[in-house]
Amino acid sequence: MEVIKITPRGYCYGVVDAIQLAKQVARDPSYPRPVYILGMIVHNRHVVQSLTEEYGIITLDGPDRLSLLDQITSGTVIFTAHGVSPAVKAKAKAKGLVCVDATCPDVTRTHELIRDLASRGYQIIYIGKRGHPEPEGAMGEAPGSVHLVETREDVDQLDLKTDKVAVTTQTTLSQWDTAELIEYIRSRYPGVLVYNEICFATQARQEAAATQAKEADVVLVVGDARSNNSNRLVQVVRERARRPAYLIDTVEDIDLNWLKGARKVAVTSGSSTPTHLTRAVIEFLEALDPDQLEAGPAPG
């Protein structure tokens, strides 16, 4: 099978930095034990398992980072690449925990922007995904001044009685969906200040997928089901490249029925997907004979 290796794909610098920082802390005996990560360091279960099995790091996961701290009485706590609110940082310090911040610099920039806008009296519309830790942390920078929206209907529910309105975004959204929603917000609030914070790594991977996937018959995106950027890659391929796309966690998830009749398969991966998982998928596909696949029944 011919495999189109979409580039760029895989780890971004924020993910690499966060994982390396966690490993450094685990190896450094000066940090008090146990070592916890408040949430998944990045949204990939294989990364989390590796940090637990190889480095003894305990990952606490749940929708509310503030309440997760109740499970920790001592030791070191690492804040994930997605960022946390000031309230989480304050509670961790009040409990006497040693705090290590692995927040992606792009997310940190959004937090700083929100603080600045709020200090100048702006109401901030934040485009993001409900239940995702990144909006949770960002909105915590200015409670009462930041309003989370995902859809036009969410925007319609807002009643911001001020001319000082700004919009900013989660870093891992679909750039095309976000652009459309920003234009709708402009129509409702003509004087709105716009700060599109979708990170360069996300945009580059989406643009590559939208362009390079057009040469393929089928596209596989390697990533965790909880990874927003991985899910957005699937969406981008389907909507922009108009090709069938499937999210898989590992090579074992490939359904050969997807590949019947295909001659070219494109592969990309989310920014939190370990390279070895994507490599295994590529090697498996390259070993397939399309003619034999077409001739024989494919397992379900």
The domain 106-198 having CATH identifier 3.40.1010.20: the answer here is yes
* Residue 62 confidence (pLDDT): 83
pTM: 0.92
What is the tens place of the pLDDT at every residue in 149-206?
999 999 999 999 999 999 999 999 999 999 999 999 999 999 999 999 999 999 999 9
- Is the Cα dihedral 89, 93, 94, 95 positive or negative? positive
Range(s) within the chain of domains with CATH label 3.40.1010.20: 2-10+202-295, 106-198
CATH number belonging to the domain at 2-10+202-295, selected among 3.40.50.300, 1.25.40.10, 1.10.150.170, 3.40.1010.20: 3.40.1010.20
* Residue 297 confidence (pLDDT): 52
Q: How far is CA 228 from the centre of its chain?
A: 4
Active-site residue (options: 134, 136, 141, 197): 134
CATH of domain 13-104: 3.40.50.11270
* Residue 300 confidence (pLDDT): 46
Cβ burial of 136 (10 Å; 0-12, 13-18, 19+) is buried
* Residue 295 confidence (pLDDT): 62
Kindly report the CA angle at 178 between 153 and 84, in degrees rounded to 5?
Answer: 90
Tokens of 149: 């929206």
**243 closest CA partner among 220, 274, 263, 222:** 220
Range(s) within the chain of domains with CATH label 3.40.50.11270: 13-104
Cis peptide before 34 (omega within 30 of 0): yes
Positions of E strands within the chain: 2-5, 35-38, 58-60, 76-79, 98-101, 123-127, 146-149, 165-169, 193-195, 218-222, 245-248, 264-269
Q: Are β-strands 76-79 and 245-248 bridged in parallel, bridged antiparallel, or unpaired? A: unpaired
134 part of the active site = yes
CB of 44 within 8 A of CB of 271? no
Residues of the chain with pLDDT under 70: 295-300
What is the tens place of the pLDDT at every residue in 102-118?
999 999 999 999 999 99
Rounded to whole angstroms, the Cα distance separating 88 from 136 reads: 11
* Residue 291 confidence (pLDDT): 87
What DSSP state is assigned to residue 300? -
